[in-house]
Amino acid sequence: MLKRYSVDSFLNDYLSFETSVDFKIKMSVEEICKDVKENKDNALYKYTKMYDKVNLESLSVSKNEIEDAFNSVSEKWLSAMKNAKDNIESFHKNQLEKSWFDNKQQGVIRGEVIRPIEKVGIYVPGGTASYPSSVLMTAIPAKVAGVSKIVMTTPPQKDGSIPKETLVAASISGVDEIYKVGGAQAISAMTYGTESVTKVDKIVGPGNIYVTEAKRFVYGDVGIDMLAGPSEVCVYADESSHPSYVASDLLAQAEHDPLARVVFITNSKKIALAVNEEVQKQLLDLPRKDIAKESIDKGAYVVVDSIDQAAKLINKMGPEHLEIAINNPFDFLDKIKNAGSIFLGHYAAESLGDYYAGVNHVLPTGGTSRFSSMLSVRDYYTVSGVLYYTKEALIDCSEEVISLAKSEKLVGHARAVEIRVRKWMTINLKVRD
């Protein structure tokens, strides 16, 4: 059962959780990454045997395996997957940005050149489960952005295969290369490259603590999207809410992971009790009830005095998923400053965002929505500033630039302008003579 917190105890106790990582995990990840960097494919085969209990003949997924996957899935599932793909694609096309230039001042051209990253690696969790939705969410924005090559790694199953649904999702999303590699070793392989795995420029996608720590370790040698932690949901509900809907959404996140953070905020004691009862009822026949119960028992609910007080708690938490389950949710939306993804009303179930509607489900966790955002097309761009000056435009501002540079005691910076102006003036005087 969710534990009740007062407003103050929620702010001071529940939200003051530690996110430090065990030192042994850090050292293990560092060792794996260095081993893969040095020994390449040999290290990948070794760790796949060690952690996934599979002796692979090849790290690459073949065309035959992908064709077999298409033949193995149902037409109904494939149709749903293609519709989800279309929704995700159309949503992310709205994020496209163009290069721009202006000519605000005579003789000066300024602008930005926006280019897609050349090679991107996507990590898809696997092994004991299948996550084709994560393929769509990471690969489709890359394709929309214009990324030239998309490399995917995912752990193999016990028989050495990749789940059929994952392969189909990769194919319809435009993934170019697929490798049967998981964990920290996969992140290292995409960072440094091996005989089989292509070296990429940026790595995106969710994973376990080893994957997250590997991304932290290799950052700088490669770009990363974010350092994601356990899943989170916060639901705000009032007396217009349906307790069964709210309970189902809380459990949807709780079944992810025993560490998933589940928070329920309401201005109604009646709804608070009804939601808690529904949670207990729905837990009974949930296949992953042991996982969900552990998460729920660590969860929290708070009864607030006002909407403004609720907004304060939500913004302090900065949840990965926020549901505003009230009749007029748009009236509340302007009060929210920090949230990864926001679901409005009684019928925008969080599952829509996970699978189908188009918004991305790779989201900031642990309060990092205060300074970071959901995965988007923008994560697959680089932006270069562009500047052009004529000699006349440089002369017009030269005294001011020189003054600013000398105020910072950077004489070389000042000289870079002075030498151009002096040379032009010398040439001009010679021409006059």
* Size (the chain), residues: 433
Q: Are 241 and 328 in contact (CB under 8 A)?
A: no
Tally of CB atoms within 10 A around 106: 9
Consecutive H or E run containing 87 = helix 75-93
Bridge partner list, 236: 265, 324
Q: Does residue 165 have an active-site annotation?
A: no
Bridge partner list, 235: 264, 323
Encoded tokens for 115: 């280019």
Pairing of strands 100-102, 108-116: antiparallel
* Residue 64 per-residue DSSP state: H
Encoded tokens for 139: 């690969």
> Which alpha helices (DSSP H) does 347-433 contain, by range?
350-355, 391-407, 411-432
Q: Which one, of 2, 3, 4, 1, lies nearest residue 304 by Cα? A: 4
Q: Does residue 346 have an active-site annotation?
A: no
Residue tagged active-site, from 92, 165, 213, 321: 321
Taking the C-alpha atoms of residue 232 and residue 253, their distance in angstroms, rounded to an integer, is 7
Q: Which one, of 230, 269, 268, 236, lies nearest residue 250 by Cα? A: 236
Q: Are 238 and 329 in contact (CB under 8 A)?
A: no
Residue tagged active-site, from 232, 255, 278, 320: 320
Q: Which one, of 342, 331, 335, 329, lies nearest residue 374 by Cα? A: 342
Taking the C-alpha atoms of residue 61 and residue 179, their distance in angstroms, rounded to an integer, is 6
Residues forming the active site: 320-321
